[in-house]
Structure 1
Amino acid sequence: MTTPAAAALPYAEFDGRPATEDDLRRALLVNYAHFTAMQVRGGRVRGLDLHLARLDAANREMFELPLDGGRVRGLIRHALENADTADASVRVYAYPRLADTAVTVMVTVAGPARMSPEPRSLMPVPYTRTAPHLKRPGEFGQTYYARLASRSGFDDALLTGPDGSVAEGAIANIGFWDGTAVIWPQAPALTGITMGVLERELPGAGVESVRRAVTLDGLGAYRSAFLSNSQGLAPVARIGDTDLTVDEALMKRLTAAYEAAPDEAV
């Protein structure tokens, strides 16, 4: 990366300036950080308020400092302008400064992405993340079990507790459908932004949305399941040895509810 005008994707800025090798080296070596990931289309983001609230809450918990949403929006706009794109996958990371009096914000810009709509198979694994309500880089366990699931013939891993409680996918939330309502597992997990948008929008679309405990031995109570993350939605066809119905009508309803949510300029 030489100058903003010459930026090519992927592109990164630290506090509004092009990233240097030292910046990137530090980001690679320091894993005490938090982040959020979003899809930007036409310079706008669905659930932007949730992204900004996530960053601020995590920053207060980890660094005992607020992270101003106006500052974050300005840094995202600056990075998008220098990358010369309005459609992108954007990540915003917060790292502690050496003086420990403020935080350094890294914004990365890559090409836009969308989750494949192909049905997924999930391998249940006995793992839950430390402080799962925080979105953090460098999660070894998620990557380890996702790769193990792939080697075992599954598309991804499903994180579960010692009691068999279902928590979340390796990099996505999971929701279940019992024929009348969407059920989000009530277990230690990250509340994803797409999940948060759906929780706000589904009741207005005539779909009940609740949180309650889901266990592996109780999967038979659900007709269908789906994954959600910043890249979109995908149906789940199998969890371990349990087959689920791929409900195309349900996926259309979920997608319509999400896309009906207002977006906001960064």
Structure 2
Amino acid sequence: MTDTPELLVEADGEPATADALGAVLTGYGHFTAMQVRDGRVRGLRFHLARLDGATRELFGTALDGARVRAAVTHALSSSGRTDASVRVHVYQPDDGGGAPVTLVVSVRPPGHAPAGPMRVKSVPYQRPAAHLKHLGGFGQGYHLRRVAAEGFGEALLTGPGGEIAEGAVTNIGFVAGSTVVWPTAPHLRGVTLQVLEELLDAAGVPQIRRPLRLADVPGYDGAFLANSRGTSPISLIDDVPFPADAELLAKISELYASAPWDTI
């Protein structure tokens, strides 16, 4: 038996109350999601930069990284977990009248990348303000449920002309020989994507960014998904199969496994 809660939620370092969570009902805010292991996280500086940048854009004020780290550390301590899935949500308690932002930290059991290659189905949808990890993910959730009912593990969001943007909860990359190809349609630059970009550069693996369309998919040698849970090769996009054992896919997995963990 254990008294470790399945879910712990704190608002500004205190147990979350209805009053503290009132701003959640507006649906206006942003967040970051991270996997914590032994009190550490990959790409911490990217998480902090994301939170600060989005807070400036949405609420017109900065968000000190030290405050975020203290809030996450406190929530982890309160939860009794050192390995966890953590989300940091940022809200403003009123209608934008200059009130300080509220940090809501949730702690759940740790998550892991899928055990095998992913089957992906494309859908005609793009997130508004896609550069932000904002609230209001109805569209993503709607499409995820629909493709899951058809036996797919992720929805691939596409724009006009079938231009590929991102997964519903992932970034997507393609393999062309020894090169990684990233899409240029509006998307969220995920923390795992940013970590991978640095690792690939350090390893001398070429990366290019260009428009990618569904019609181009059969011409690639492989594809993969990336989010806070790690990287996963893709075995199928719609009806186009991909080899999950391409050499560069294995290299990407190895590089991410070698990424350093930062103490929160």
TM-score range, shorter chain: over 0.9
1:17 corresponds in structure 2 to 14
Shift of 1:247: 1.9
Aligned-partner Cα distance in 1 for 2:232–2:115: 5
Shift of 1:121: 1.4
2:63 corresponds in structure 1 to 67
Aligned-partner Cα distance in 1 for 2:247–2:37: 26
Number of equivalences: 260
1:233 to 1:72, Cα distance in 2 relative to 1, 3 A: same
Q: Match for 2:26: what amino acid?
A: V
Query: Are 1:172 and 2:170 counterparts?
Result: yes
1:33 to 29, 36, 48: 29
Structure 2 matches for 1:155-194, cutoff 5 A? 155-194=153-192
What TM-score do the two structures reach when normalised by structure 2? 0.94
Structure 2 matches for 1:193-232, cutoff 5 A? 193-232=191-230
Q: CA RMSD in A?
A: 1.5
SS of 1:23's partner is coil
1:135 corresponds in structure 2 to 133
SS of 1:245's partner is coil
Aligned-partner Cα distance in 2 for 1:86–1:185: 35
Shift of 1:7: 6.1
Aligned-partner Cα distance in 2 for 1:28–1:94: 9
Report percent identity of matched pairs: 47
Structure 1 stretches lacking a partner, 5+ long: 1-5
1:28 to 1:60, Cα distance in 2 relative to 1, 3 A: closer
2:54 corresponds in structure 1 to 58
Task: Answer whether contact 1:76 1:107 (CA < 8 A) is retained.
Answer: yes
Q: Deviations over 1:56-82 (max 9, x none)?
A: 000000001101101000111111111
Aligned-partner Cα distance in 1 for 2:195–2:102: 28
Q: Match for 1:223: what amino acid?
A: D
Q: Deviations over 1:148-207 (max 9, x none)?
A: 112233222110001211001111000100111111111100011000100011121232
Q: Which runs of 4+ in 1 moved over 4 A?
A: none
Structure 2 stretches lacking a partner, 5+ long: none
Q: Match for 1:140: what amino acid?
A: F
1:246 corresponds in structure 2 to 244
SS of 1:202's partner is helix
SS of 2:72's partner is helix
SS of 2:235's partner is strand
